[in-house]
Structure 1
Amino acid sequence: MIDDFVFGADAARNLSAVEEAVRKAAAAEILPRFRQLAEHEIVEKNGPHDLVTVADRLAEEHLTASLSELLPGSVVVGEEAVHADPDIVQALSGDAPVWIVDPVDGTRQFVHGDPGFATLVALAHRGELYASWTYAPASDRMAVAVRGAGASLNGAPLRCGTPDPDAALTVATSHPDFTSPEETAAFRRLEVPGLAPRPCGSAGLEYLAVAEGSLGAVAFGWENPWDHAAGLLLVAEAGGASATVAGEPFRLAGGNALPFTAARDAASARRILGLMRGAADA
């Protein structure tokens, strides 16, 4: 079922239909509320740094309906649905194709009127990513990745940047508000000559920056699949590499050794992982 949808005779039409569904959800539920939110439309989920808005909820409902219709028999694992019912995330380990949805990635930026937010959608089956869509509504940038077929941004091929021996490797790391003491220590080990760590913004847009060559790597200490699924495939199909500190691939269903990185090339990923592990030869 999923192979036919992504790689079959109607694949181009199917993938375009997903892109259109993402654009429609953003146009209907997100952009009209950008810089127009009322105070009662913003709610704290797990504290002042973890926000949800009416745009998050309505965009996810919009995408859940449209994506389920595009691929009958599929299920949706969305950030807001999982917040309401944590058992929904178990679908990632099931047999049905899964749409992984973050309706507004970078809600804090969205709330503050900053255009650095994105809508993220990935299609997976039995833990394997098949396709992803990273959409920046405020700038109308759409990045698409398909397993084994490469990545593109607004139709143009994407390739991660090549190492520049004269420039520091910039690494976007988990924001301190979402970092454990152990992870904070791991990220501080990246403060060495040749690396330039900084706090990340929208995870989806940071992955896009790696894929388009304007950022060297990301390093994150949380594993919510809706934040990472789309970007991990995007970076991989743009020629990058990723792994956890245990040297293993990131598992969508969770249980990963953290932190993990996605970088412009395998050598950069190995160096970042070695430093975060505290390896003497990194």
Structure 2
Amino acid sequence: MTFSDSDMTDLVDLLKRTGEEEILPRFRAIEDSDIKQKESAWDVVTEADTAAEECLTAELSQRYPDAFIVGEEATAENPGLIDGLGEAEFAFVIDPVDGTYNFASGMPTFGTILAVIVNGECVAGIIHYPDGGESLVGAAGGGARLLGARGGERRLKVAEPTGLDQMVGTISWGFLKEPERSRIAGNLAGIGMPFAFRCSAWEYRLAAAGRAHFVSAHNLMPWDHLAGVLIHAEAGGYTACLDGSPYGPGVNSGGLITATDPESWSLIRREIFELS
């Protein structure tokens, strides 16, 4: 299976239409009773998540009948879906509403994420922002671009390396257990400006556009990271798991750091995670 420019265009259009039809009509119209908690008070799901994923899955299945489709909400019902993703001949990975807590709270920091896997490698990523209408896209070897809501596009480039005290970045330390959680949270005091949107779609956007220097995560669900890591790499960035191994489909644990370059990756690993 090959993935072409026309496929990319069609998929961007599909995410836009799904946002317009399934997500935006429910934005700021969700009742508290419609918000379902999953593993924590900030890990929630709404009708927008399920409706958008069902729409995307149906459309992708019709257009690409041989594709293996992994959606966040479908995996919640059947965790075994992500098994074998690293060897998949052709697959799509969907996060219908990334940043559901923000969406349910009426904040526009959410997005729809789609990763394309061919022969066990992520070859394309699309992150669409329904509220603003922009799309972040990247294809292996083709660079990364931000597509405007009304046309036009901008090539993306990661930030220039800088010292730790000048860095802007995010680490999802909330998933860690004590005492590591408190130790890493304390070490973030050495960062110029730590932030957290609880939304990979926006965190990778800032990093790929040169507005943040790093993103780090420990809960490595493929729908959160595959597309963003690919887009960031195409913007000139560097990602590796905390043990130095490559990140890709099939890697679901162990933590990762996405940084501007290998030297910055090593600096964050040493100073924040205290790993040599």
TM-score by length of 2: 0.91
Q: 2:271 aligns with which of 263, 272, 275?
A: 275
Shift >4 Å, 4+ stretches: 164-167
Q: Are residues 1:215 and 2:208 paired? A: no
- Quote how far apart the aligned CAs of 1:141 are: 1.4
> Cα distance 1:44–1:256, how it changes in 2: closer, same or farther (>3 A)?
closer
TM-score by length of 1: 0.89
Aligned-residue sequence identity (percent) comes to: 31
Counterpart of 1:235 in structure 2 is: 232
Residues 43-192 of structure 1 mapped to structure 2, 5 A cutoff: 43-154=36-147, 155-164=153-162, 168-174=166-172, 176=174, 178-181=175-178, 182-192=180-190
Q: Check the 8 A contact 1:162/1:264 in 2, yes or no.
A: yes
Structure 2 Cα separation of the partners of residues 228 and 279 of structure 1: 22
- Quote how far apart the aligned CAs of 1:263 are: 1.3
> Cα distance 1:167–1:180, how it changes in 2: closer, same or farther (>3 A)?
closer
Query: Cα RMSD over matched residues?
Result: 1.9
- Quote how far apart the aligned CAs of 1:17 are: 0.5
Residue type at the aligned position of 2:269: L
Q: Check the 8 A contact 1:77/1:91 in 2, yes or no.
A: no
- Quote how far apart the aligned CAs of 1:168 are: 0.8
SS of residue in 2 equivalent to 1:36: coil
Q: Are residues 1:42 and 2:42 paired? A: no
What do residues 109-147 of structure 1 show as CA deviations (whole Å, max 9, x unaligned)? Answer: 000100000100000134311001011111111010000
Instruction: Structure 2 unaligned segments of length 5 or more: list them.
Output: 148-152
Q: Check the 8 A contact 1:207/1:231 in 2, yes or no.
A: yes
- Quote how far apart the aligned CAs of 1:65 are: 1.2
Structure 1 Cα separation of the partners of residues 240 and 182 of structure 2: 18
Q: Check the 8 A contact 1:250/1:256 in 2, yes or no.
A: no
> Cα distance 1:48–1:255, how it changes in 2: closer, same or farther (>3 A)?
closer
Aligned length: 270
Structure 2 Cα separation of the partners of residues 221 and 190 of structure 1: 15
SS of residue in 1 equivalent to 2:40: coil
- Quote how far apart the aligned CAs of 1:205 are: 0.8
Residue type at the aligned position of 1:158: L
Q: 1:245 aligns with which of 242, 247, 251?
A: 242
